[in-house]
Amino acid sequence: MDALSLAVRFAPTEQEIFERFLFPRLAGDEEALRNSLVQFFELYDQDPTAAAFPPQPYFLANNHYFFVNRAPLTPASSQPYREIDNLASQGRWKMVGKPKIVKRGNTIILGKRNTLDFVTVEGKRTGWRQYEYERILDAPIFQTVVVVHIFYQPGLNQNADVNQLGDV
């Protein structure tokens, strides 16, 4: 790790996540993303408790930012499929709370942030959480590409039964 990476950390605001990363990606603006620290990662194909996240010296410990391709729950669905069922410790990403509307200033809506916890098949939290950033579209069209901030926090009530929270 060089001296610069010790002093500089990647910590974009929610507004920057939309304006500097998601919007250019959705518009196909490869020039704007040429040296981006946010890269594609197949998050929904892996259990985050065992995933081999690509090393990134500018990210805070146990923090990762990715562009993620999502698949719909069914071909006609506007809901994403987030279950991990092809690995040793099966689980899923469970929505926690309600989506947060992200704005520029007080009036311009940029999109929404969904909060999800990774839970085991028994409904136990693992400590992995993600913020999933997506545009709000006028039509009910499934958005395939999103930006995800995934992080590990031991204090996320790992032993709590999330089935008591209810689905959103």
pTM metric for this prediction: 0.84
**How far lies 135's CA from each of 9, 21, 22, 77, 127, in Å?**
26, 12, 8, 17, 26
Give the integer Cα–Cα distance in Å for 96 and 114. Answer: 8
Check residue 80 and give its pLDDT. Answer: 83
pLDDT digits (tens, 9 = 90+) for 19-40: 999 999 999 999 999 889 999 9
Q: Which two tokens mark 97?
A: 């709370």
pLDDT band at 167 (very low <50, low <70, confident <90, very high): very low
Region 133-145: what's the mean pLDDT? 84
Check residue 166 and give its pLDDT. Answer: 46
Amino acid type, 66: F
Give the integer Cα–Cα distance in Å for 103 and 86. Answer: 37
Neighbouring residues of 49: CB distance < 8 A, sequence distance ≥ 6 = 89, 91, 118, 126, 128
pLDDT digits (tens, 9 = 90+) for 35-88: 899 999 988 878 888 888 888 888 888 899 999 998 888 887 777 877 775 555
| CATH classification of the domain holding 89 | 2.170.150.80
Count: domains in the chain: 1
pLDDT band at 161 (very low <50, low <70, confident <90, very high): low
Domain that holds residue 53: 3-164
pLDDT digits (tens, 9 = 90+) for 87-138: 556 788 899 999 999 999 998 999 999 999 998 888 888 899 999 999 987 7
Say if CB 167 and CB 93 are below 8 A apart: no
Check residue 40 and give its pLDDT. Answer: 92
**How far lies 141's CA from each of 67, 80, 120, 145, in Å?**
18, 11, 29, 12
Give the integer Cα–Cα distance in Å for 120 and 56. Answer: 27
